[in-house]
Structure 1
Amino acid sequence: MSRVEVRDLAVVLGTRTVLSGVDFEVGGGDWLAVIGANGAGKSTLLRALAGLLPHSGEVLVDGVPLRRLKPRQRARLLAYAPQTPALPADMTVFDYALLGRTPYIPHLGRESRGDREVTASVLERLDLSSFASRALGHLSGGERQRVVLARALTQQAPVLLLDEPTTALDLGHQQHVLELVDRLRLADGLTVVTTLHDLSLAGQYADSMMLVAGGGTAASGTPAEVLTEELIGRHFDARVRVATGVAGRPEVHLERP
């Protein structure tokens, strides 16, 4: 299980400071949910962690500064699934998931039998084996989300970064995807960092939460400490009631004016 530490992270895009002074830690095998209003910088944070955006500050996995690593080495530590990935319509599910093995395939080389076995195993775990030869353009929204997750998991990285993994899914598929992530996290000892817009879902699954606002960290702690009526009202401009649900986890309910 790998621990993630972020120290004084800042991202400047053009002349605009999107994030500054971001500090947090995620224990090995834990799940951190990053929440915040639209445009707060949640996706920017994950892209910076994945090494896809220039940033200052330090990102460490088990004490190793990622800025010192080459992209292929970094990809063996962190797997990133974007919110809206490019899915070539004619590519098969198997070939797309196999792309996750890229950090292990030699330059100008081909995937090995072991790479194909890892990919087949991941598809089986995600109940996607029967879709292996199906083109990506013929999948439903829920199936596409599982395929994006499959590609990330074939990297066999100990840290999983998921940007809004439930986007555009109905409630049932949202729950299915998050249950799947949770089972895999517990089975494989993965450390998970997700952005989630549904506050109640975030509160149900995450071990800890971080609220991003104003370009930095507005609050962090357990779901019960972050999902408060006062914080949600201030940073989401919403009137809500927070109740205690299953296992003492917070549930957020909108209140009519």
Structure 2
Amino acid sequence: MPDAAPDALPDALPDVVSDVVPGGDAMSRLTVRDLSVVLDGRPVLSEVGLDVRDGGWLAVIGANGAGKSTLLRALAGVLPYGGDVLIDDTPVRRLRHRDRARLLAYAPQTPALPVDMTVFDYALLGRTPYIPYLGREGRCDREVTASVLERLDLSRLASRPLGRLSGGERQRVVLARALAQQAPVLLLDEPTTALDLGHQQQVLELVDRLRLADGLTVVTTLHDLSLAGQYADAMMLLSAGRVAASGVPAEVLTEELIAEHFEARVRVGTGPAGRPEVHLERP
């Protein structure tokens, strides 16, 4: 278990994004073939396939109950699944837990947080795959953790117990633990839930900078379709546990598909960067 969080973070923090994630050679392609999940005898996902290139960002969208969170939990190994999940052609199910955790980090939407653990110690748990059995974290582990907290505007909360955080602060701490893990594949389930507008932008910009600087492969679920269209370079629409559409954002965020699968009347425009923007329209 990590030591109690220090009263002050280390003076010398890494100044570049690449100090927070693996080196530039650690890119990983994520491939999923015919993935299925059955829970309580009921099929929740069926024949789901996806292919995220090295350094790509896939946003998974869909109405409530479509299977988005279930998909991420299956990819993370939290749920049993049928089919194949591969990282650089290596089947994930064959890896030991520690080896898998060095390749793939998962930030759930509503994790169980120990209320008495400090922010620093919780984020430091992301370093567990690199700490020897019966060993303790080293200076590098603590510096990586401190750097992640700084980038997520959490340094001032390093010694605060998790039970004394707001919903938005807890969301950022969960992301901090995942980033401290330094895995080249990052799974984020609704990373902007409970965040105000400024911190939504801050978190997504940070993820995007990490992705571009070090080839981090990102898969997110996002309720906000316009946000998904602004940041992801590929999208997949789930409906009733199956892939209803996939492609670049402009191919998936269409008025017809949104009307069919979200039962919403929208207007889809084009933003300054040529990306689709979704606007609700009153009936």
1:120 equivalent in structure 2: 146
Of 189, 192, 196 in structure 2, the residue corresponding to residue 166 of structure 1 is: 192
Q: Deviations over 1:25-77 (max 9, x none)?
A: 00111110000000000000000000000001111111111011011111110
Q: How far did 1:130 drift? A: 2.5
1:48 equivalent in structure 2: 74
Backbone CA RMSD of aligned residues: 1.3
Q: Is 2:242 the counterpart of 1:213?
A: no
Please, which moves more after superposition, 74-83 or 241-250? Answer: 241-250
Secondary structure of 1:76's match?
helix
Distance in 1, Cα, partners of 2:165 & 2:213: 27
Distance in 2, Cα, partners of 1:54 & 1:227: 30
2:251 equivalent in structure 1: 225
Secondary structure of 1:156's match?
coil
Distance in 2, Cα, partners of 1:169 & 1:77: 27
Q: Is 2:129 the counterpart of 1:103?
A: yes
1:169-180 alignment runs, 5 A limit: 169-180=195-206
Q: How far did 1:182 drift? A: 1.2
After TM superposition, which residue ranges in structure 1, 4 or more long, deviate above 6 angstroms? none
Residue-pair matches, total: 257
Q: Is 2:80 the counterpart of 1:60?
A: no
1:18 equivalent in structure 2: 44
- The 8 Å contact of residues 267 and 278 in structure 2, kept in 1 or not, is answered as yes
Shift of the 19–71 alpha-carbon distance from structure 1 to 2, 3 Å rule, reads: same
Of 197, 203, 206 in structure 1, the residue corresponding to residue 223 of structure 2 is: 197
Q: How far did 1:171 drift? A: 2.7
Of 110, 114, 118 in structure 2, the residue corresponding to residue 88 of structure 1 is: 114
Q: Is 2:102 the counterpart of 1:69?
A: no
Q: Which amino acid aligns with 2:278?
A: V
Q: How far did 1:119 drift? A: 1.5
Q: Deviations over 1:218-250 (max 9, x none)?
A: 000000000000000000011111111121111
Distance in 2, Cα, partners of 1:255 & 1:124: 39
Secondary structure of 2:264's match?
coil
1:231-250 alignment runs, 5 A limit: 231-250=257-276
Q: Deviations over 1:80-127 (max 9, x none)?
A: 000011222221111000100111222233222332222122223333
Unaligned runs of 5+ in 2: 1-26
Distance in 2, Cα, partners of 1:207 & 1:214: 23
1:134 equivalent in structure 2: 160
Q: How far did 1:165 drift? A: 0.6
1:252 equivalent in structure 2: 278
Unaligned runs of 5+ in 1: none
Secondary structure of 1:145's match?
helix
Please, which moves more after superposition, 236-245 or 111-120? Answer: 111-120
- The 8 Å contact of residues 171 and 194 in structure 2, kept in 1 or not, is answered as no
Q: Which amino acid aligns with 1:96?
A: Y
TM-score, length basis structure 1: 0.96
Q: How far did 1:131 drift? A: 2.1
Distance in 2, Cα, partners of 1:50 & 1:197: 20
- The 8 Å contact of residues 29 and 53 in structure 2, kept in 1 or not, is answered as yes
Secondary structure of 2:66's match?
coil
1:186 equivalent in structure 2: 212
TM-score, length basis structure 2: 0.87
Please, which moves more after superposition, 112-121 or 198-207? Answer: 112-121
